[in-house]
């Protein structure tokens, strides 16, 4: 402000000697006089700007946002898109291409599980119509076995079984036609698929739609489902809040399942970082040629303080490395904001 005061003093002295100071004084027309007036006008403008800057308050930055930005500045991801959202405050802590539409692969199965749970009692029994294998291990469901709907959901989610998804969709389809008489019936699983897309619309997932019930690629150029990282954050936040018990098995390394007649099988989790995320509430992997490696998790960073993190378009192993980084930086950013 010292420079401003000096400039004001010089301007005052200039005004006392300048012909413009008196209303009745005839204006000078010499080049030197015109030059002097120009300097005076510029000087007054500078003073006004400096004064305005001095009086204007500095923009406020939310403490949590500032600490999050500082922490996530260190993050470099292989993924094409990612997002981290604090479910408690609703604030986005980190995002990368979060609204870009990408193939979501088996993240689709979370929407399927929500749809099946709406249609069928979880304790109801289902006869397995054909063999269903898993992607995480040699676990399988055999034709003719009788399983609870809840167990088939657990198996399908943990093992990311495409046949398991088809069995669930087929089982729920007739009941969904009863619940929603306007459901389409022309294609296999059409009612289930329609209800999954209705759920997407209800949740406001503007970039998300499902072309099949598993997320498996339909062809070399057509994925089975599409969505954005932002949409997946909404879907998983909803799933963890509305149906937490339905997905609790996905927070475990594996679970033991038992058929109606006592036969047992172990389902293994395809999520390799399951054991390295303290407070994990739920998670789901996805992997296809078109999607690359996807991973979505919901985890607690404190007592009842859930956060959802999404990684889309990474690689098979890169999705796990990316998620480890996001979890670490999330904890660091929220710790700094306390």
Measured at the alpha carbon of residue 172, what is the angle toward residues 170 and 174, in degrees to the nearest 5? 85
Predicted TM-score (pTM) of the model is: 0.79
Integer Cα distance of 61 and 77 in angstroms: 26
Q: What is the pLDDT of residues 15-63, one digit of tens each?
A: 454 443 334 334 444 444 444 554 445 455 444 444 444 444 544 545 5
Residue 83, phi then psi, degrees to nearest 5: -160, 150
Q: What is the pLDDT of residues 92-147, one digit of tens each?
A: 999 999 999 999 999 999 999 999 999 999 999 999 999 999 888 888 999 999 99
Integer Cα distance of 77 and 73 in angstroms: 11
Q: Strand 125-127 and strand 146-148: pairing?
A: antiparallel
**Alpha-helical segments (H) within 56-189:** 63-72, 108-119, 149-159, 162-179
Measured at the alpha carbon of residue 231, what is the angle toward residues 223 and 322, in degrees to the nearest 5? 80
Task: Say what the pLDDT of residue 2 is.
Answer: 53
Q: What is the pLDDT of residues 265-288, one digit of tens each?
A: 899 999 999 999 999 999 999 999
Could you tell me if 312 and 81 are in contact, meaning their C-beta atoms sit under 8 angstroms apart? yes
3-state SS, residue 331 = helix
Q: Return the residue matching tokens 């699983």.
A: 189
Task: Say what the pLDDT of residue 219 is.
Answer: 98
């Amino acid at each position: 402000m010292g420079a401003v005061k000096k400039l004001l003093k010089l301007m005052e002295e200039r005004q006392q000697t300048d012909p413009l100071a008196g209303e009745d004084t005839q204006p000078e027309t010499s080049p030197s006089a015109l030059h002097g007036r120009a300097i005076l006008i510029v000087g007054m403008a500078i003073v006004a700007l400096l004064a305005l800057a001095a009086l204007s308050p500095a923009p406020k930055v939310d403490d949590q946002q500032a600490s999050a930005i500082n922490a996530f500045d260190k993050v470099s991801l292989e993924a094409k898109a990612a997002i981290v959202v604090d479910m408690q405050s609703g604030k986005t802590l980190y995002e990368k291409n979060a609204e870009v539409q990408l193939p979501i692969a088996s993240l689709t199965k979370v929407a399927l599980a929500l749809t099946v749970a709406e249609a069928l009692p979880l304790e109801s029994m289902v006869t397995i119509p054909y063999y269903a294998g898993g992607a995480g291990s040699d676990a399988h469901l055999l034709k003719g076995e009788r399983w609870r709907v809840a167990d088939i959901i657990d198996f399908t989610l943990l093992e990311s079984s495409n046949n398991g998804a088809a069995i669930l969709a087929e089982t729920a389809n007739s009941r969904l036609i009863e619940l929603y008489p306007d459901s389409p019936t022309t294609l296999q699983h059409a009612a289930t698929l329609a209800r999954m897309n209705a759920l997407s619309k209800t949740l406001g997932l503007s970039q998300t739609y499902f072309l099949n019930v598993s997320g498996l690629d339909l062809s070399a150029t057509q994925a089975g489902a599409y969505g954005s990282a932002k949409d997946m954050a909404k879907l998983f936040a909803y799933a963890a809040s509305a149906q937490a018990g339905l997905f609790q098995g996905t927070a475990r390394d594996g679970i033991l399942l038992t058929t109606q007649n006592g036969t047992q099988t172990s389902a293994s989790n395809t999520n390799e970082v399951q054991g390295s995320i303290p407070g994990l509430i739920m998670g789901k992997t996805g992997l296809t040629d078109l999607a690359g490696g996807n991973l979505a998790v919901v985890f607690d960073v404190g007592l009842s303080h859930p956060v959802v993190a999404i990684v889309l378009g990474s690689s098979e192993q890169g999705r796990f490395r990316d998620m480890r980084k996001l979890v670490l930086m999330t904890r660091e950013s929220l710790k700094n904001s306390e």
